[in-house]
Amino acid sequence: MRKAGVDRDREEFADFYQRSRDNCLRAVLASTGNRALAEDLVAEAFARAWASWHKVNRHPAPAAWVVRTALNVRVSWWRRHRREVALDGHDQAEVADDSAELHDGLLAAVRRLPQRQREVVVLRIWLDLDTNTVADVLGISAKTVAVHLSRATATLRAQFVPVASQGVPS
């Protein structure tokens, strides 16, 4: 009887992993700007998700749980290593070279957004979570999510939409 439950959990997790990995990777990549680091963080987050699958499976947004965990792992790593001195040129973020689905300019623009706006864009737009779920994941109100999303989209729109097409006389 126990083996059937483990097999079912394994199948559910494998399905979740297949459906969510790429979106989670893109979300973390938008935050880190370093593909290798993002892959490591997402792998660690999925390993933790499997270890806590009974809890993560019941989460309202398991993919958001994975992304948040990956970003928390990065913060924890940074806190442990922040006193280390980087060698010249070795601390530069790598630009994703195979982001065919994401325009490089858009990815760079999202990376330049303030952290909270970036998190809201990633969770609300890229992971397609509803506003209330994003608010729960980030520990903020739904109105605050809407404000951050509005500011982020206005900033991005100003960078990518020509002034004449925004209805402003030239």
Position 95 scores a pLDDT of 47
pLDDT in tens, 96-121: 444 444 467 778 888 889 989 998 98
Position 2 scores a pLDDT of 56
Average predicted confidence (pLDDT) for the chain? 81
CB-based contacts of 132-138 (< 8 A; 24+ apart in sequence): 133/60, 133/61, 133/64, 134/64, 136/60, 136/61, 137/61, 137/64, 137/65, 137/68
Q: Could you tell me where the DSSP H helices lie in the chain? A: 2-32, 35-51, 53-56, 62-81, 104-112, 115-121, 131-138, 142-160
Cβ neighbours of 151 (radius 10 Å): 15
Position 146 scores a pLDDT of 93
Report pTM: 0.55
Considering the domain 103-162, what is its CATH architecture? Orthogonal Bundle (1.10)
- Tell me if domain 1-81 and domain 103-162 are identical in fold: no
Domain range summary for the chain, segments of one domain joined by +: 1-81, 103-162
pLDDT in tens, 16-66: 999 999 999 998 988 888 889 899 999 999 999 999 999 999 998 999 999
CA-wise closest residue to 59 among 44, 45, 49 = 49
Q: Which of 15-24, 85-94, 118-127, 157-166 has the lowest mean pLDDT?
A: 85-94
Position 130 scores a pLDDT of 87
Q: Cβ distance 2 to 11 under 8 Å?
A: no
Position 65 scores a pLDDT of 93
> Is domain 1-81 given the CATH code 1.10.1740.10 in the classification?
yes
Cβ neighbours of 24 (radius 10 Å): 28
Euclidean distance between CA atoms 89 and 43, whole angstroms: 26
| Better-predicted residue by pLDDT, 1 or 64 | 64
